[in-house]
Structure 1
Amino acid sequence: MSENKHPRNAMNAVDPRRWAALAVVLIASFMDAVDVTVVHMAIPHIQQDIGASSAQVQWITGGYALTFALGLITGGRLGDLFGRKRVFLLGVVGFTATSLICGVAGNAEMLLAGRVAQGAMAALMVPQVLSIIHVTFPQRERGKVFGIYGAVMSLGTIAGPLVGALLVQGDLFGLGWRPIFLVNLPLGIAGLIAGVLVVSESRAERAARLDLVGVVLASAGLLALVLPLTQGRELGWPAWTYVSMAASVPVLALFVAWERGLLRRGGSPLVVLSLFARRSFAGGQGVQLMFGLASGVFFLAWTLYLQLGLGWSPLKAGLSGLPLSAAMMAGAGMSMQVLVPRFGRVVLQAGALLAAAGMLLFACLAQHYGSGIATWQAIVPLIPMGLGMGLIIAPLTDVILSEVPHEHAGSASGLTNTTVQLGQAVGVALSSVIFFARLGHGDPAAQAAKMPYAFTGSLWYVAAAFVAASALLATLPRTAGTKKPTAGPARRSEQQDTTVPVA
């Protein structure tokens, strides 16, 4: 394996396999997006089969998001340093293997451990997706590519519950809920073979050692915040939970100080803090955090509300999410191709407010009709929510990465994914306080009767997160995402890259 000594000239030639490579990395993204939510529809069956407690259910869902969030920055940086293709393929292998562990788990503890490990493997795989897109496609094609990426992620997020419902209710080979994880095996093997053949290798021009101190500090700070939120209610909020949450602040502050000091000493920090000097990057991270928080609270409460509160079958509950998926895809397409190139930031802000309006409508209907809510009344509010989220998701990724140098593509991608996954982990953890606390510790019948009340209360928090996202979007440049005329010399140099392709 040798390095090209003239990376700029090498990158001027557009990779002829870039669209095939895009298909491979999008399959990996789809697998991850599905796995975040696929388990939701199977929760009642998992509880019945292996006796998982409420706290274990939260960890089965939130543990994946937590380890994913903890490892994303490191995973992105590893791709920059040691090769994005290499780390991506390693993540695919690990994700496939841990999916097998989840699928054969005989008890809640083994399933929980498998999910935590699965999140860690996804943290190696997923950051490379945006990095590979960023360094493989010329600037003129990235808007279209990120539009496709946003649509696939939207589809995967909402397809998760439907896929889970079909697999659980289908009871393939008498395996019950287990195929929701085992289905990743053929996809993972196919993705590995195709990735070896069509994805080109690349890494940062100036390789450096991994910032291990930064890894430890960032992981410790995030874990100190999320762990007590998840376990606190189940344990009765002992003193250590408050101490842990308070300790997360100085630990994360120490992480920032260490990263700054390392950069001054000429080292290679885990997080390139200079990226936050760009308005599009800093503001976009805040929006990603709010979106993760909203989805972390909503999807867990929503699936339990439909199945346990309204008595819907997994298939009916999964099918009810199709309008949300279709609306997200439609919103993403309109946003990237028509609206954002013409109107810029205001489209994203309108999308956040539209999503908030959908949640407020859902809260009012659920509160008024209770367990007697009609099917159409439980579906209609999902349409404005889906349209609003679609208007934001696809263009936001392009806006965030638009000003990022290619040599920091992995770090930026890791940060971008980390914020949304951290938001989801915190959202699932907060469900302990704003959803499960309202259900109480009664028997299943008593909890089912309280489900509409608990679900309605959680929707106000989801709507608040979308409103906060709209406010944060005001920090983006007003013309973010709009098409600007490009001079001839700029067009000729748009494909130049500081990334080293590897033969």
Structure 2
Amino acid sequence: MSPSRWWALPVVLVAVFMTTLDFFVANLAIPSIRAGLAASGSQAQLVIAAYGLAYAAGLVVAGRLGDLYGPRRVFLAGLAVFTLASAACGSAPSPGALVVARAAQGVAAALLAPQVLTLLGALYRGADRPRAFGWYGTAVGLAGVGGQAIGGLLVAADPMGLGWRACFLVNVPLGLAALVLTPWLVPAPAAGAAGAARTGAAAGARSGGLDVLGAGLVAAGLVAVVLPLVQGREQGWPAWTWPCLAASVPLLAAFARRQRWLAASGRQPLLDLDVFAAKGFASGLAAVALLFGGSAGVSFVLALYLQEGLRLGPLAAGLVCTALNAGFFAASLRTASLAGRLGHRLPLAGAVTLVLGLASLHHAVGGAGAVPYRVAGALLVTGAGMGLVMSPLVSAVLARVRPARAGAAAGVLGTVQETGGVLGGTVTGTVLLGSLSAGWPAAAQAGLAVPMVCALGVLAVLALTKPARAPAPACA
């Protein structure tokens, strides 16, 4: 492979770093956003949920767009939208404008995610491929570990008086640089891959192209679930919330029926629902949804509790939160070696560690004597549990699907991850904000009860599920 292709790697990974960083940075900036824009609790939740919800709904479509129009072209489109949306976030004059801009960021992140994986797979072959994907994992890990500390630093430093806005505006120069460099440094997929993409595009054209109706149904179904959960508590659960929640069932059912009809008629569905026929795949997805829901819930509790409950500054709060991601990163680096010793029991061991970490965190935030170093210690164990369970769990879920359906399975998995995160963060926020009258320690403990239930659910699913015969090896 030409050495010049390695210049493409940092350009592609800038997109990975920005989209991962943006979730953690926004979490840390929530208290400053609430103060700066006079945002309500539900509006603050929507700032986080809008990104994850748009990302989840967009993933269903983004992979198909890459097949139709080519991964580099869609990658450039995603970069452009993400950069513009980041500028809109940083200049938002109201909570509503910020929520809309965050949703646009989520759509752009969804456009980028599958194209990054496609480009890495097409540009790097043989022994170079593990190295490239290793750097991909490092970029995700570094964004996770440093995200909240970077957010705290930006808010505390207040560059040019921007405050929380700097957390979003920092993406603009990075995005512009990547946009300029991509045409020069990121080649189009090699002839074979390009030919396959063109073949896929032609097939897509013959089969009706993008399923716009299906995309609308799944997006509407997800919004019908999340919107009433976010807005209902603050508005006293008005009458519209219940029909809205109920509407999600027929909308998602209609999406499923349409996908089956498209597949049966020889057309290309957005999601190949036959992947659910693989034994243990659905239960594995349930564990993934619970895991990501619990993770998002912990992040939301910490963002508010550390700054508004313990009265820490944004930088100090970011450093405490870094313990969670540091534990995750350190444990993830050990999954490959531990998998050799524990085999299929590794996810179960990780789930037990996660439950113990959350139990210690629940204890650490209770009472008036809570101190940051105890919270950080509990977060380190919690993060380690997440790191031990996440990689082998995802690997085992995908191992249950035949290689011919691996792409569809990965799309379903990504959608479940993001949807689980949105719902977990939303439900946790609803419980936390609804318990504030009892004081911050009690509210934090109430909020953390949701991630604890999620972790116990993961443990139960893993304990009851028979391991795949040949699970893919976990890797850092």
Q: Same fold by TM (over 0.5)?
A: yes
Correspondence for 1:206 among 179, 195, 200: 200
Instruction: Give 1:179's aligned residue.
Output: 166
| C-alpha distance in 2 between matches for 1:346 and 1:279 | 18
CA distance change for structure 1 residues 361 and 439 in 2, over 3 Å: closer, same or farther? same
Partner of 1:444: none
Among all aligned residue pairs of Structure 1 and Structure 2, give the percentage whose two residues are the same amino acid: 38
Q: Shift in Å at residue 194 of structure 1?
A: 3.7
Alignment partner of 1:371: what SS?
coil
Counterpart Cα distance in 1 of 2:47 and 2:263: 37
Asked if 1:166 is matched to 2:157, the reply is no
Aligned-pair distance for 1:129? Answer: 2.4
C-alpha offsets along residues 368-427 of structure 1, whole Å, 9 cap, x if unaligned? xx2321222111111111112222334445555567788866654433322111112112
Matching residue's letter, 1:80: D
1:17 and 1:199 in contact (8 A); partners too: no
Aligned to 1:371: 368
CA distance in 2, matches of 1:405, 1:18: 31
Query: What secondary structure sits across from 1:422 in the alignment?
Result: helix
Q: Which has the higher contact order (CA 8 A, sep 6+)?
A: 1
C-alpha spacing 1:341/1:79, structure 2 compared with 1 (3 Å) = farther
CA shift for structure 1 position 60: 1.1
- How much has 1:457 moved relative to structure 2? 1.5
- 2:290 is aligned to 290
Quote how far apart the aligned CAs of 1:223 are: 1.2
CA 1:468–1:132 in structure 2 vs 1: closer, same or farther (change >3 Å)?
farther
For 1:200, the aligned partner's letter is A
Name the counterpart of 1:264. 264
SS in 1 for 2:441: helix
Alpha carbons 1:168, 1:177 under 8 Å: kept: yes
> Using the alignment, how far apart are the partners of 1:16 and 1:342 within structure 2?
37
Q: Could you tell me how far 1:166 is from its partner in structure 2?
A: 0.2
Cα distance in 1 between the residues matched to 2:364 and 2:356? 12
Deviation of 1:311 (Å) = 0.7
Report if aligned partners of 2:392, 2:473 keep a CA contact under 8 Å in 1: no
Per the alignment, residue 249 of structure 1 pairs with 249
Matched to 1:345, the amino acid is: H
* 451-460 vs 387-396, which moves further: 387-396
User: Deviations along 1:432-452, whole A, 9 cap, x unmatched?
Assistant: 431111114xxxxxxxx7111
Unaligned 5+ residue runs, structure 1?
1-13, 441-448, 484-503
1:480 aligns with 2:449: no
One-letter amino acid of the structure 2 residue matched with residue 243 of structure 1: P
Task: Tell me if structure 2 keeps the 8 A contact 1:40–1:61.
Answer: yes
Relative to structure 1, the CA distance from residue 471 to residue 410 in structure 2 (aligned partners, 3 Å threshold; closer, same or farther) is same
User: Take 1:464 and 1:146, find their aligned partners in 2: how far apart are those partners?
Assistant: 33
1:351 CA drift (Å): 1.2
Matched to 1:450, the amino acid is: G
| Alpha-carbon contact 1:345-1:479 (below 8 Å) kept | no
Q: CA, structure 1 residues 204+140, in 2 after alignment: closer, same or farther (shift >3 Å)?
A: farther
Secondary structure of 1:321's partner?
Answer: helix
1:349 maps to amino acid: L
Q: Is the aligned partner of 1:470 residue 2:459? A: yes
TM-superposed CA distance for 1:362, in Å, is: 0.9
- Rounded to whole Å, the distance in 2 between the matches of 1:100 and 1:125 is 18
- Is this contact kept in 2: 1:91–1:121, CA < 8 A? yes
2:446 to 457, 461, 477: 457
Deviates more, 1:194-203 or 1:83-92: 194-203
Q: 1:215 to 1:292 in 2, by over 3 A?
A: same
Q: Would the alpha carbon gap of residues 341 and 480 (structure 1) be closer, same or farther in structure 2, given more than 3 Å must change? A: farther
Distance in 1, matches of 2:390 and 2:34, equals 33
TM-score normalised by structure 1 residue count = 0.84
Sort the Cα spacing of 1:50 and 1:399 in 2 relative to 1 into closer, same or farther, 3 A: same
Q: How big is each residue's C-alpha offset from its partner over 1:325-369, in whole Å with a ceiling of 9 and x where there is no partner? A: 222111111113x122554321122112211210111112222xx
Q: Show the counterpart of 2:420.
A: 423
Of the structure 1 ranges 17-26 and 174-183, higher mean CA displacement relative to structure 2 is found in 17-26
Which residue of the partner structure matches residue 361 of structure 1?
360
With 344-353 and 473-482 compared, the bigger mean Cα shift is at: 473-482
Per the alignment, do residues 481 and 93 of structure 1 end up closer, same or farther by CA in structure 2, a change over 3 Å counting? same
The Cα shift of 1:87 comes to 1.0
The letter for the 1-side match of 2:200 is R
Residue 393 of structure 1 corresponds to which residue in structure 2? 390
Most deviating of 33-42 and 202-211: 202-211
Change (3 A) 1:476 1:29: farther
2:18 is equivalent to residue 39 of structure 1: no
Structure 1 residues 298, 478: CA separation in 2 closer, same or farther (over 3 Å shift)?
Answer: farther
Pick closer, same or farther for the CA change 1:127–1:55 going to 2, 3 Å: same
Secondary structure in 2 aligned to 1:95?
helix
Equivalent position of 1:72 in the other structure: 59
Q: Which moved more, 1:399-408 or 1:279-288?
A: 399-408
Aligned residues: 459
Three-state SS of the structure 2 residue aligned to 1:380 is helix
Q: Give the match's secondary structure for 2:234.
A: helix
Question: Which of 94, 102, 108 is 2:95 aligned to?
Answer: 108
Moved more, 421-430 or 137-146: 137-146
Q: Distance in 2 between matches of 1:282 and 1:84?
A: 29
TM-score, structure 2 normalization: 0.88
Counterpart of 1:373 in 2: which secondary structure? coil
Cα distance change on mapping 1:132 and 1:273 into 2, 3 Å:
farther
